[in-house]
Amino acid sequence: MGMFKEFKEFAMRGNVVDMAVGIVIGAAFSAIVKSMVDDVLMPPIGLLLGGVDFSDFFVVLKEGAKAAAPYHNLADAKAAGAVTLNFGLFVNAIISFTIVAFALFMLVKGMNRLRANEAPKPVTTKKCPHCCSDIAIEATRCPHCTSQL
């Protein structure tokens, strides 16, 4: 029972719960970015480059046992059992990563800007010149060494 209680205390700490929420939101954000790259950005780029689908850029390393090359797209190569090097999917992944990294950069930059705009805390203490202890700013005598300020 002690181990269960210890695990419960660990799991219910604020930073663990915050991290779990962040991971779930990050996964959802990643799916949105992947869809944006695959379905919104890459088709127009492929169209500008002559109707090319980047996800179908691949190199056949070994022909499949079910059908011989050439393969018209990656799905045909996979269906034939071919071993392929899928550099088009890698390009899509790099673009997705760049978008996620930029979004995170903008988020952190905005949070840092909010922190910088916070008003500094007012000074409420000062150091005693004789004993170097912290005392109230309004004090005229040090409560520690009783010296006159």
* Contact present, 84 and 58 (Cβ < 8 Å): yes
> What is the C-alpha to C-alpha distance for residues 123 and 137, in angstroms, rounded to an integer?
8
- What does the pLDDT read at residue 61? 87
| d(C-alpha 30, C-alpha 143), whole Å | 59
**Residue 119 scores a pLDDT above 80:** no
Residue 117 has pLDDT above 80, yes or no: no
**52 to each of 46, 56, 79, how far by Cα in Å?**
4, 8, 21
Q: pLDDT band at residue 124, thresholds of 50, 70 and 90?
A: confident
Task: Give per-residue pLDDT as tens, 97-106.
Answer: 888 888 888 8
What is the tens place of the pLDDT at every residue in 10-66?
A: 777 767 778 888 899 888 888 888 888 888 888 888 788 787 777 788 888 888 888
DSSP per-residue letters across 36-95: IIIIIIHHHHHHHTTS--GGG--EEEE--SSSPSP-SSHHHHHHHT-EEE-HHHHHHHHH
What pLDDT does 14 receive?
66
Percent over 90 (pLDDT), the chain:
3
- First-to-final CA distance of the chain: 58
Q: Please provide the average confidence, as pLDDT, over all residues in the chain.
A: 84
Structural domains of the chain ordered from first start: 2-52+86-118 (1.10.1200.120), 121-149 (no CATH)
Whole-model pTM?
0.55
pLDDT at 8 over 70: yes
